[in-house]
Amino acid sequence: MLSNLTNMTWGFSGKPAKREDVVNCVPEGWHNIVNTLIDDLLALGWDGQVFQAKEKFGGLRFYIGPGNEGIWDRISQAEKESYKTCEVCGEPGEERNPFGWIKTLCDEHAKLYGNRR
């Protein structure tokens, strides 16, 4: 992982964005996905401008400013990976619908939330 002091900024305000603040926008089980994504994007020439990182419909969403094809492909790859990763613990998971909203959970955490698919 690259330094915690990467040159990221929040897209709407232009204020500095700490890596930990961006990573903490998503559930803990996806922290590794986002940390790796940030490293890869920076290596691909990303300017560090991030508008939003979040969970939506059981998957990762990572919104940035400008990027090239390699950057967009890498974001897409991370978003797809999130649909196979428990958002609670980071173990293999799948989309589930425990309370009328979609979450990506492993079998263990699905039991805690209710195991409807």
The confidence score (pLDDT) of residue 6 equals: 65
Indicate the SS3 state at residue 13: coil
Alpha helices in 1-117 (DSSP H): 19-23, 31-43, 69-82, 107-113
pLDDT 10s digits, 46-96 = 999 999 999 999 999 999 999 999 999 999 999 999 999 999 999 999 999
Q: Which residues contact 69 (CB under 8 A, 6 or more apart)?
A: none
Q: What is the mean pLDDT of the chain?
A: 92
This prediction's pTM? 0.90
| Residue 1 neighbours by CB under 8 Å, 6+ apart | 35, 36, 39
The DSSP output letter for 65 is S
Instruction: Please indicate whether residue 4 or residue 37 has the higher confidence score (pLDDT).
Output: 37
